[in-house]
Amino acid sequence: MGDVKRVLFVSSEIFPYLPESPVGNIGRYLPQGIQERKREIRSFMPRYGCINERKNQLHEVIRLSGMNIVIGDIDRPLIIKVASISAARMQVYFIDNDDYFHRKQTYCDAEGKFFEDNGERAVFFARGVLETVKKLRWAPDVIHCHGWISHLLPLYLKKAYRDDPIFADSKVVLSLYDDTPAESFGSDFAEKVLFGGISASDVQLTGKADGTELAELAIRYSDGVIMGSANVDAKVGGFCRESGLPVLDYDAAKIADGSYIDDYNSFYEQL
């Protein structure tokens, strides 16, 4: 796509707001590296309840907050917070809501049980990011998604927001990791996903509606895929290979020494 000027990062985790992890480290260092390569960046993640707002100096952005997002028959307020990683000279935007993101765990309760509303949280997060970017009036050339909670964003971008001038030229890159949930998001998840003229045939989720199906949905509406882990779910990886999309393979050595950033940067331009 030629000269990429603006890259939006949508991540399930960013270090140091959550402990170090493969996704969290890429969420932290990739945006910085892309910014150092003279591109504008924005980064988003959920504001989980385990994130200490005082320690990390999060504060609400009033001009971006105040919208309600309707899922099913319930509308919930979208709250936007922001913090800075001074060493990287970058800001991180947080999608927040009292009902979805104030519990102290990320995706499972203290006993390890998958939260029943994780599907709704993914809907809220993806739509919240896109609505906030619209309010920022910042048109991304590339949107790079990391982590399963971002996997609805490609569908929404290509279907519900396709006529919005902010996203008219946006390409979606999907990084796949070994975080695919085995649990179901519920028999009514496919219905809760529907929004903005999206039909059931656009979604193609079965009653099972687990993380594998969600990942395959994300692949269908992406423009390129990056293997972010050596242990991507085999079925998801196979679906990806069959999709015909450009794929950048996982390289552990490059992840370790940071040279993956140049590969990712080049991948954006190939779309």
Q: What is the pLDDT of residues 99-130, one digit of tens each?
A: 999 999 999 999 999 999 999 999 999 999 99
Look at residue 2 and tell me whether its pLDDT is greater than 80.
no
What per-residue confidence (pLDDT) applies to 178?
95
Rounded to two decimals, the pTM is 0.97
Q: What is the mean pLDDT of the chain?
A: 95
> How many angstroms separate the CA atoms of 182 and 214, rounded?
11
Instruction: Provide the pLDDT confidence category of residue 208 given band limits of 50, 70 and 90.
Output: confident
What per-residue confidence (pLDDT) applies to 66?
87
Tokens 């895929």: give the residue. 225
List C-alpha distances in Å: 122 to 119, 143, 151, 221.
5, 16, 8, 16
List C-alpha distances in Å: 184 to 46, 95, 136, 192.
21, 23, 34, 14
